[in-house]
Structure 1
Amino acid sequence: MPRYTAPVGDLMFVLHDVLNVDRAGIPGYEELDRDTTAAILGEAAKLAETVLAPLNPAGDKEGCRLENGAVRTPEGFKAAFDAMRDGGWTALDCDPAYGGQGLPYVLATAAGELFSSANMAFQMYLGLAHGAYNAIHAHGSEAQKALYLPKLARGIWGGTMNLTEPQCGTDLGLIRTRADPQPDGRYRITGQKIWISAGEHDLTDNIVHLVLARIPGGPEGVKGLSLFIVPKRLPNADGTPGARNAVVCGGLERKMGLHGNATCMMQYDGAIGELIGPPHAGLRAMFTMMNEARLAVGLQGYAQGAAAYGAALAFARERLQGRDATGVRNPAGPADPILVHPDVRRNLMDQKSFVEGARALVLWGATLIDRAHRGGDAAAEALISLLTPVIKGFLTDKGVETTLLAQQTLGGAGFTRDAGLEQFLRDARVTTIYEGTNGIQALDLVGRKLGADKGAAVTAFLTMIDALLAEHRGRDAAFDAQFLTPLAAAAEDLRTAIGFCLSHGAADPNAVLAGAYDIMHLFGHVCLGLMWTRMALAAQSALDAGGDAGFFTAKIATGRYYMARQLPATRTHLARIESGAAPVMALDAEAF
């Protein structure tokens, strides 16, 4: 089975050499000196490597089981959850007014990668509770905050979000779950929700369900949706869990992966719920949770790729097969390690260059969230809103591809369960599907985000690239050729693609929609090209200052690989975009 090793050194490089977090000017970031972040991430790494990772294959094999309406999580999950709670990991970036530690979101994101890579199914229990915490923190009443937030922050209670129903997923306007007003101001919630992650489990003594439902007499469609807190157990006057509410898990999904996380069908039979925010404003409140979830899913995508890459690299160093075409590298053995072969190197470099670029993109995105929420920066809020569908869609597509490449590195062994790579692939696969399929992310990008505020955010993004190019152009001919010129070409491809959208959107919307997926991927490659340029600059500065030559030289070489071998994909995506709708829509529906 693979042995997980947490990439603490790489996280530290991105946080301190690339993002310069302690000098970023974001409130609270002055506390993120190298010693502090190293200590926190070091402890997170120990937990990930020694507690969570060993439970991952066992949890996958055992899965969750439903017994008389109660879900039993795999053996060891409860003890691991208690360790996470007791260590304060559930409260890392939560508000100190409600029992949190108040650390920046970027640090929680960095730790979250380690936990997700080590055991994605387990980490989801914590992630969903954190999303419920954020939604209530942003939209709940003072009484709701006082009751629910301390318990969610400290990991005493769990949380979920309940959107999907049998007849609707993306089209939430079709939701039928009903919320009937009661004389005491509360509501009776009746309906069925499906595919609810962590909907029932034995890790906490209560679960706070956030449920989208309709109040009778409200507007049709999404404008008539309201959001409700529906606890598994109704709180007593002293805040302890009381009587069981009328909500049960009616069944567990049989899934391709994520067997350690309970995916439930939830039945609400007149369950007591409290309205969050005003009536008929539930979608806005739920999007507070969904947007965080989409960023977290982007992280899950590359985190599974990172775990798979680590296992593939270890195998490639040890597996002996064939001889190096340029000369024997292992004269004492019957063959050379497969790591010497160019095609294996290509495979591993594809994995490495994606994972490290994605890590930088997600951590940069986390700083934008902190800048927006802690500093009230509207431009940062607009930029992360633009990047959210790219982070979710591109990083999960490429994350699945990376786990597949890692499996391929092992050859026949990768196809067996004992090697463990197939679990990473199965678990990663859902990241392209849930929290809005990647096709929906692409439509969100071209339909809403690119044109928001007359394109201000995408203009700011491209201006940022232009400024970087102008600042460093001409200083070093090799750097110009290897980084700046490819980045400039990719950014121009993105400009051209956006221009195509603007010129065709009104007259021929299918032309834009047919290329939406390619626009998302083109944008994703430009983002990683930007990250790699910034990382190469930081690595060269560290080398010039006498830093670790092996680490920083490898970083620059990996960046050169991405710019030369991956970034040119923007031209292919642009050609597809410019082909318009005709190739996609040529067949009548009956001709398929």
Structure 2
Amino acid sequence: MSAYTAPLQDMHFVLNELAGLEQISALPGCEEATAETVTAVLHEAGKFSSGVLAPLNRPGDVAGCRWEDGDVKTPAGFVEAYQQFVEGGWNGLNFPCEFGGQGLPKLVASPVLEMVMSANLGFSLCPLLTGGAIEALLLRGTPEQKATYLHRMVEGSWTGTMNLTEPQAGSDLGLIRSKAVPDGDHYRIYGQKIFITHGEHDMAENIIHLVLARLPDAPEGVKGISLFVVPKFLVNPDGSLGARNDVRCVSIEHKLGIHASPTAVLSYGDREGAIGYLVGEENRGVEYMFVMMNEARYTVGLQGVAVSERAYQLARSYAADRVQSKDLADPRGPSVAIIHHPDVRRMLMTMRALAEATRAVAYVVGAAIDQAHLAPDDAARQEARAFVDYMIPIHKGWATEASIEVANLGIQVHGGMGFIEETGAAQYLRDARITTIYEGTTGIQANDLVGRKTAREGGSTARALIARMQATVDGIDPVDADMAIIRDALARGIQDYTACVEWIVATYGSDIRAVHAGAVPFLKLAGIVCGGWQLARAADIATRRLAEAGSDRDFLSAKVITARFYAEHLMSRVAGLRQTMIHGAGSTMALPVERF
């Protein structure tokens, strides 16, 4: 298996040219994010990811995690690697300095997260969930809760989880049965939670669970759910660890992929009741949990980028080394590496284009998250927040769906060897498969996109996005042949996207089922168009840079070629998705339920 190499040159290009690192570093509190600092951070993150985490990926996948009488052992080397992760300050990169973080922007943390996830997706899930728990406590925790938990969580010596799902309550959180009984200044939590990522492990001293449960007098449905912080070990007034709380891991799941990440079944209150503390106000737990959910959805979208990059690197390396068959243009010559064959080139270019497009969209959204939090102008914050809220389901849904396509192509590039576990290609498909499911399936993301994010606001944010994309089209000089093709493909894609938005707004009130029947095709369409938008911007910038002395012509030319390939091979899918979205609902809903 080839070694992982962080794509630092492309990361820097996207950060600086597309996501606007210079503008982000000018935001209040982001002054430390200078070009020199960011270069150093990314360089060190690349070394840590490739040198420490990547070598554990394959052994961790093979060994998996072990459950032993309530305790969970992670694969060999993970405890030591996590300690290095904490000592390096990687967990607190973008969290407030007052709690021990480094206060860097989300935009800077995004490529670091991508590198960690590319190198070892199973390992990365622990800090991912911790970050979501930190965000929730920052927003709604009491001063006492922040003082008790955040310094250690930001440091990483304590990790965090989110506890939503129960056996009878998956996406429908209104069915939650876990209960919280008042007991003085705290509550006793009783119930069972499933699918809890890193709900039990041996890498940290304590695990801080954020748990949804009902108070005795709570109303039915989602309006009667509260959020509680429930530590694995209780915390003494001096900050030291006290008694073990009444929460136990009763099993871990046997999964298709991400074997190095334990997915726990947790039982609360088998004895005296697990001690928990209310976060925020009663009966607003689902609202607060969505703080964690949106954080996690953004990061899961980055997982899609990370898997795509890693699968592409592995396939590219194999294709360059695997000698098989003659070059079609030289049938009497020697056998050549398969990277010379047109169909293999098509697959590799598809993988490359999707990895670069999803990365560009991810970092642009990451920059907007920083603007939504930190822009000094209220109107600018609101505009950025609207963009982020609209783009999160697109980013999460499309990037993860794309990662499955890329990982699947990676196996195909390997041929029969791709079906053999030892090559490593199969792991990326197995690992990628969950990313379209957890933190909200692609269908849930798509329903959110067409319902809350498009129809219910009359398409206003979608039209603002259309205007931004059209401005890119209008700014491209079509004199260059490559740019003319890229420009025309993006223009057609915007027209198809616009037609779908207007149809959703016009149809939602009269035929809601028809709109939702085409929700996932619309999400994929939106993702492809947004990816094409970013690659068109990249190609336009690269074309201009090529005229400058001293430019890296090989890198910049590859940006243009990749954008043209995307325009010709991936933007061409948009018209078909528009047809499916607007005209495909009738056949989707026609077959009687009993005939399935």
Q: Determine if the TM-score, normalized by the shorter chain, exceeds 0.5.
A: yes
Question: In terms of mean alpha carbon deviation, does 30-39 or 55-64 score higher?
Answer: 30-39
Q: 1:208 to 1:442 in 2, by over 3 A?
A: same
Q: 1:527 — aligned with what?
A: 530
Q: 1:433 — aligned with what?
A: 437
Residue 168 of structure 1 aligns to a residue whose secondary structure is coil
Instruction: List per-residue Cα deviations over 1:349-378 (Å, max 9, x = no partner).
Output: 000000001111100110010000122501
Whether 2:487 is the aligned partner of 1:478: answer no
Offset at 1:453? Answer: 3.7
Offset at 1:18? Answer: 2.5
Aligned length: 587
Instruction: List per-residue Cα deviations over 1:365-410 (Å, max 9, x = no partner).
Output: 1001000012250111111111111111111111011001011101
Q: 2:594 — aligned with what?
A: 590
Whether 2:60 is the aligned partner of 1:71: answer no
Residue 305 of structure 1 aligns to a residue whose secondary structure is helix
Cα distance in 2 for partners of 1:568, 1:492 equals: 13
1:509-588 correspondence runs (5 A)? 509-546=512-549, 547-588=551-592
Q: 2:493 — aligned with what?
A: 490
Q: 2:129 — aligned with what?
A: 128
Residue 251 of structure 2 aligns to a residue whose secondary structure is strand
Whether 2:499 is the aligned partner of 1:500: answer no
Cα distance in 2 for partners of 1:28, 1:42 equals: 23
Q: 1:235 — aligned with what?
A: 235
Contact 1:23 1:30 in 2 (8 A): no
Q: 1:366 — aligned with what?
A: 366
1:16-415 correspondence runs (5 A)? 16-24=16-24, 25-183=26-184, 185-269=185-269, 270-327=273-330, 334-375=334-375, 377-415=381-419
Offset at 1:166? Answer: 0.1
Cα distance in 2 for partners of 1:214, 1:36 equals: 46
* TM-score (normalizing by structure 2): 0.96
Give 1:228's aligned amino acid.
Answer: F
Cα distance in 2 for partners of 1:533, 1:291 equals: 28
Report sequence identity in percent: 43
Residue 12 of structure 2 aligns to a residue whose secondary structure is helix
Cα distance in 1 for partners of 2:361, 2:586 equals: 34
Q: 1:503 to 1:580 in 2, by over 3 A?
A: farther
Cα distance in 2 for partners of 1:509, 1:453 equals: 15
Cα distance in 2 for partners of 1:410, 1:57 equals: 17
Cα distance in 1 for partners of 2:252, 2:202 equals: 14
Offset at 1:507? Answer: 1.5
Q: 2:428 — aligned with what?
A: 424
Offset at 1:493? Answer: 0.4
Pick the aligned partner of 1:446 from 438, 445, 450: 450
Cα distance in 2 for partners of 1:384, 1:216 equals: 37
Give 2:135's aligned amino acid.
Answer: N
Offset at 1:20? Answer: 3.1
Offset at 1:475? Answer: 5.5
Cα distance in 2 for partners of 1:562, 1:439 equals: 25
Instruction: List per-residue Cα deviations over 1:101-145 (Å, max 9, x = no partner).
Output: 101111111100000000000011111111111110011011111
Residue 55 of structure 2 aligns to a residue whose secondary structure is helix
Cα distance in 2 for partners of 1:501, 1:18 equals: 30
Contact 1:2 1:419 in 2 (8 A): no
Query: How large is the RMSD of aligned CA atoms in angstroms?
Result: 1.4
Offset at 1:29? Answer: 4.6
Residue 336 of structure 2 aligns to a residue whose secondary structure is coil
Cα distance in 2 for partners of 1:426, 1:580 equals: 30
Contact 2:482 2:560 in 1 (8 A): no
Cα distance in 2 for partners of 1:515, 1:580 equals: 7
Contact 1:22 1:31 in 2 (8 A): no
Cα distance in 1 for partners of 2:360, 2:175 equals: 38
Cα distance in 2 for partners of 1:324, 1:475 equals: 35
Instruction: List per-residue Cα deviations over 1:453-491 (Å, max 9, x = no partner).
Output: 43321121011112222233x562525521221111101
Contact 2:177 2:214 in 1 (8 A): yes
Cα distance in 1 for partners of 2:162, 2:435 equals: 16
Q: 1:339 to 1:367 in 2, by over 3 A?
A: same
Contact 1:17 1:539 in 2 (8 A): no
Offset at 1:30? Answer: 4.6
Give 1:242's aligned amino acid.
Answer: G
Cα distance in 1 for partners of 2:567, 2:2 equals: 30
Cα distance in 1 for partners of 2:2, 2:433 equals: 19
Cα distance in 1 for partners of 2:16, 2:183 equals: 54
Cα distance in 2 for partners of 1:435, 1:197 equals: 11
Question: In terms of mean alpha carbon deviation, does 193-202 or 23-32 score higher?
Answer: 23-32
Residue 265 of structure 2 aligns to a residue whose secondary structure is strand
Note the residue ranges of structure 2 that are not aligned, 5 or more in a row. none
Offset at 1:452? Answer: 4.6
Contact 2:125 2:261 in 1 (8 A): yes
Instruction: List per-residue Cα deviations over 1:193-221 (Å, max 9, x = no partner).
Output: 00100000011111000001111111211
Offset at 1:28? Answer: 4.3
Cα distance in 1 for partners of 2:582, 2:69 equals: 56
Residue 239 of structure 2 aligns to a residue whose secondary structure is coil
Offset at 1:16? Answer: 1.5
Contact 1:206 1:231 in 2 (8 A): yes
Cα distance in 1 for partners of 2:484, 2:200 equals: 55
Offset at 1:34? Answer: 3.0
Offset at 1:147? Answer: 1.0
Cα distance in 1 for partners of 2:214, 2:31 equals: 45
Contact 2:518 2:584 in 1 (8 A): yes
Contact 1:21 1:29 in 2 (8 A): no
Offset at 1:146? Answer: 1.0
Contact 1:23 1:29 in 2 (8 A): no
Offset at 1:328? Answer: 6.8
Residue 327 of structure 2 aligns to a residue whose secondary structure is coil
Residue 194 of structure 1 aligns to a residue whose secondary structure is strand
* TM-score (normalizing by structure 1): 0.97
